A and B are shown apart, each in its own frame.
Chain A
């Protein structure tokens, strides 16, 4: 690989955009940067996944620290779900080291398609639940009560303090395990799955889910990064522009995020995911079966 100014600047810019949107949507940015590295920079998916997972830690540090400072993050919820995500990450990273490229591409495409659909299906729920105070009235399950998993935060867009109680701890933990696995396998942080699990099944407001997921992503990605690092799969000269770019993008994105309404975020998310899913599927099919779908600009 030739290390030119052109290559570095392009990768830095792409990573900056990925970090920005990642922070807005509570995903590590990996979900954008992996397809970009594979589809535009033509890097092997394993190099992309390994570089991405490290940059995902960077965005988690940048975005995560800010949400912690604003007290949007629910730390106890994060610590509890991290047990599941780190074990998942360990499983996923081991799989990534041994799986074939085309299988990873197809799995990536399926995950993107699902996330696109999930964001679309729940796009209006949050603003309605905040307005009606529904987040505070749910019934807590035993595990959530034992672990004292509840909280409150100040929503700038709705201009009020939102209180919430948490339920569905077992299903939340199960999905978090899968999210961790996706993280290790695909280099994506798995924030997409964690946010939708917390928001959809655990009665956690979208912004708290985003902040909490952001923090969890760091330690989840660290577990798989350790495996990739010791396996020699992390290419530091690729990591450097990607990590720097995503850090800068994520810092800016985090500043903007609490000012936007959730439904707008979800619309952006739906369209972007659907587009990237198509790109990864096309690449996977071409690699394994020689089937060439029309390229839509990627």
Chain B
């Protein structure tokens, strides 16, 4: 295994970061794809009319309603959760990168990557307070 890794060009100092990033991306892809597939399958078995309005979509944003939807295998809720997980994958990738650069004592890149994380947080704060 070590030999295999060493043959890869460019695989030197940042090996931790490369491996961490790879795992997060793969996990995010598989989990959200599986949820999308189940949600889609169920939606086709139980066809429904889905309105395109933003207010209708936002009316589902409550923990109680999401929990209820997951327990009853509601297709719309499954697709909502898959979307949320998909969006969180790159966010998690950034967090893992910060950690991996810190393990490598590469402080310059801990700072660079943390700035990216701050922008993500800013987008949540802005949409929470700014978009009504």
Residues of A within 8 A of B (CB): 1-5, 8, 44, 47, 54, 57-58, 60-62, 64-65, 68-71, 74-76, 79-80, 82-83, 86-87, 89-90, 93-94, 97, 146-147, 151-154, 161, 215, 218-219, 221-227, 229-237, 239-241, 243-244, 247
A-chain residues with CB within 8 Å of residue B50 when the two chains form the complex:
1, 3, 235, 237
A229 and B18 in contact (CB under 8 A), knowing A3-B48, A90-B126, A237-B79?
Answer: no
Residue from B47, B51, B57 whose CB has the most chain A CB atoms within 10 Å: B57
Complex CA–CA separation, A82 to B90 (angstroms): 11
A75 and B28 in contact (CB under 8 A), knowing A61-B89, A236-B80, A237-B43?
Answer: no
A-chain residues with CB within 8 Å of residue B120 when the two chains form the complex:
86, 219, 222-223, 226
**Hey, what's the 0/1 contact readout for B8-51 against A, CB within 8 Å counting as 1?**
11110010011001100110110011001101100110011111
| Interchain CB contact under 8 A, B47 and A4 | yes
| Interchain CB contact under 8 A, A215 and B49 | no
B-chain residues with CB within 8 Å of residue A244 when the two chains form the complex:
33, 36-37, 40
| Interchain CB contact under 8 A, B36 and A75 | no
| Interchain CB contact under 8 A, B119 and A83 | yes
In terms of DSSP, what is the predominant structure of the interface of chain A?
A: helix
Residues of B within 8 A of A (CB): 8-11, 14, 17-18, 21-22, 25-26, 28-29, 32-33, 36-37, 39-40, 43-44, 47-58, 61, 75-76, 79-80, 82-84, 86-91, 93-94, 97, 108-109, 112-113, 115-116, 119-120, 122-124, 126-128, 131
B-chain residues with CB within 8 Å of residue A226 when the two chains form the complex:
87, 120, 123-124, 127
**What is the minimal beta-carbon distance from A180 to any residue of chain B, in angstroms?**
10
| Interchain CB contact under 8 A, B25 and A65 | yes
In terms of DSSP, what is the predominant structure of the interface of chain B?
A: helix
Complex CA–CA separation, A243 to B78 (angstroms): 14
A-chain residues with CB within 8 Å of residue B18 when the two chains form the complex:
68, 71, 75
Complex CA–CA separation, A188 to B115 (angstroms): 23
A-chain residues with CB within 8 Å of residue B39 when the two chains form the complex:
236, 240
| Interchain CB contact under 8 A, B9 and A80 | no
**What is the minimal beta-carbon distance from A28 to any residue of chain B, in angstroms?**
12
**What is the minimal beta-carbon distance from A6 to any residue of chain B, in angstroms?**
10
| Interchain CB contact under 8 A, B90 and A219 | yes
**What is the minimal beta-carbon distance from B93 to any residue of chain A, in angstroms?**
7
| Interchain CB contact under 8 A, A80 and B17 | no
Complex CA–CA separation, A222 to B82 (angstroms): 14
